[in-house]
Chain A
């Protein structure tokens, strides 16, 4: 299963630049294609596509969203068990482990490289104890 690019594609290359698995190919100003064997359905291509050309598994067009308004993970450190599943689940290496506190010697995850986050939500999906929620940062919400 994989996402697909439809004929609306203008060949701008925004999707190839953001795709974390490097599965999109195509010449400039020509129709791009997603390699179904490599696509991991993160949806980042659709969120950056200026021409609304990426379809998800259900045939729906993924809406373009301005990058500051992409959902980002929020970590509930009270529920978190520091198991590092989210760190490994992140396809872009955006999640890092924070420093331990004087009371708690375990290192909990933080969004260390926020700019790398593509809002795929794999961290939240893979967290076994639902300690991660995906939300648009408050400062990015319209007033």
Chain B
């Protein structure tokens, strides 16, 4: 089948132990793409209303992208979808590594797991065998140990593993799923869904080939993209990124960002390149969102300057089909000698958010969280929340084994995270995220719990870029920072290829960014639509930052699937997926208005000093405008039932594949 996608999904019921392949009609791919779009379509049709996220009715999908394995670049993302136990909404997590092509090599575009196993199990798939195996000896092991043990056990070339750590097993609502020894699909608490199902890991070792419609055309477009990626002029030293950020704060105008500049930073340092620039610009929340750029100045952020991370980098880490390589494997002197280079989000959530300047503790905690299988953004928020409660006297040393939870105390951050990983003492309270912790602690602690719909937001300040406020509040998976922002829209440069969408001038007045305007919602809607196309195709967001003319995602999709759709039609597809995700939430009884991010992150009250001084975001107006853009009810964000008819109708045409996978004759694999 020369379409880029495999045309089938694997559905596994852990309760009945039934495994079957289902053929997905081509029209579904054309209407919802693969990846998260296909996931939304399956979950909307298969998860019953008001399902318990940790019960057998929830369905967890491991999705690859439509463009994965077709010769396109930046297309190695895999996605996990399900009903989130953290927010009760549509849940999604996105991760790099090498798991996405492994899904397709098993001949399917996604693996959906439903039901619940009484004993720990793992799922093994290759070309011949698809079976549920016993994982009792693995239960309790961390993600790195689990992966190493499984790879040794199956002993197949190019086998890939996605697994949970003890956090997922303990049903921590901020746990994620790990691959490649510590790359995490961390958001939405989907690790707990795996834990609740008793599914320790998924091991894939297929060898099927992925055949696109026109590989030569895809390669031609890839070479255009690669030329931009390889353009790498020498760049300033790490600590000098801080004055660049300060300059951006001081200037009364905004210079529209070209993603090529960010690409240069990513190639040199990775996401940690923003460690000093972001706080200076006002983009990074400090001290549990109540601090400002003044509290985390040059001297404080210097300890985590980008050069610190590249100095101990042994080798750059590339995800599948990535020509950039923003990741890295670092050597440290701490408890764990080797670790994935911490990401910007991790450094700031365990650093600036807790005022922690000890970079060694960040290296250690990064690896600890990866091994335990816990989301570092949410864990950092939980630690900062506990510190603020301690400051206000709501938590005392009696609750913390005598540890003083003072701001900037690295021992306190280490103590909290270690306790959360083991779910002991105060860690048991915090391991379900700040919303649950605040509800249990009470005493007015809710004010210090920063979340949107239950999920802690990313390390990008919504007071600096109102686009973040909108997307944190309005996305079907609230609190995620990778679905859109004003800054992202500038870098996508979509107006260069698609008609009828707002164009951004090369320079504009900064004050215009903070005025209430319908334009914010207009841009936000395009962002969400485009992100759904990206997630359907399995493209990395950093790749798409290169700009639509340099990374030709729409042309790649046409060449891979043999379609002839225009960029505008693809954005319509993105809108269709967004409507389906929103309809999923409505079906599950979610009130979209309730997902609005907490007031502190909106500048209510406004900060008295720092980069975001005096800024307040009117997110209510933006949310209503945004819902209107999708044709949903602007008063409550609900799509009309007719808008999802298409999805339900297509679901009736599914054919289960009856033939059973054939056993290999002698049961032995040779090379």
A residues near B (Cβ < 8 Å) are 16-23, 25-26, 35, 38, 40-41, 81-85, 87-88, 90-94, 99-100, 105-107, 116, 118, 122, 125-126, 128-130
Contacts and interface: CB of A to CB of B under 8 A. Distances in A.
B71 A85 contact: yes
B443 interface: no
Question: Which are the 4 A-B pairs with shortest beta-carbon distances?
Answer: A93-B157, A81-B323, A128-B222, A25-B665
Nearest to B268: A105
A122 B313 contact: no
Interface in B292-334: 313-316, 318-323, 325, 328
B671 A116 contact: yes
A100 B321 CA distance: 18
Interface residues of B, number: 42
Contact of A83 (B73, B207, B664, B671): B73
Interface stretch (B223-231, B434-442, B563-571, B593-601): B223-231
A105 B670 contact: no
A122 B105 CA distance: 14
Given A22-B128, A129-B222, A93 B321 contact: no
Contacts of B226: 81, 128-129
Nearest to A81: B323
Contacts of A21: 127, 207-208
Interface string B627-671: 000000000000000000000000000000000001011100111
Interface of B: 69, 71-73, 98, 101-102, 105, 127-128, 157-158, 207-209, 215, 218-219, 222-223, 226, 229-230, 313-316, 318-323, 325, 328, 662, 664-666, 669-671
B671 A93 contact: yes
Contact of B223 (A100, A106, A125, A129): A129
Contact of A82 (B69, B215, B313, B316): B316
A20 B315 contact: no
A106 B316 contact: yes
A77 to B, nearest CB: 13
Given A20-B207, A81-B229, A107-B316, A91 B223 contact: no
A23 B325 contact: no
22 contacts: A16-B665, A19-B670, A20-B670, A21-B207, A26-B665, A38-B127, A38-B128, A81-B226, A83-B322, A85-B71, A88-B102, A90-B158, A93-B671, A100-B314, A100-B316, A105-B328, A106-B325, A125-B215, A128-B72, A129-B219, A129-B223, A130-B219
The residue among A16, A82, A88 with the most chain B CB atoms within 10 A of its own CB is A88
Given A81-B229, A129-B223, A107 B207 contact: no
A32 to B, nearest CB: 10
A47 B91 CA distance: 49
B632 to A, nearest CB: 40
A100 B322 CA distance: 17
Nearest to A80: B323
Given A20-B207, A23-B127, 13 more contacts: A83-B322, A83-B323, A85-B320, A88-B101, A93-B157, A100-B314, A106-B315, A107-B316, A128-B72, A128-B222, A128-B223, A129-B222, A130-B219
Nearest to A85: B321
A18 B322 contact: no
Contacts of B229: 81
Contact of B157 (A81, A107, A116): A116
B318 A83 contact: yes
Contacts of A88: 69, 98, 101-102, 105, 158, 320
Given A100-B316, A106-B318, A128-B71, A84 B98 contact: yes
B205 to A, nearest CB: 10
A122 B127 CA distance: 18
B127 A22 contact: yes
Contact of A20 (B318, B323, B671): B671
B283 to A, nearest CB: 27
Nearest to B74: A83
Given A83-B73, A84-B98, A107-B315, A22 B320 contact: no
Contacts of B318: 82-84, 106-107
Contacts of A82: 316, 318, 323, 325
Nearest to B322: A83
A109 B313 CA distance: 19
Contacts of A25: 664-665
B121 to A, nearest CB: 24
Contacts of A83: 73, 318, 320-323
Contacts of A85: 71, 320-321
Contacts of B101: 88
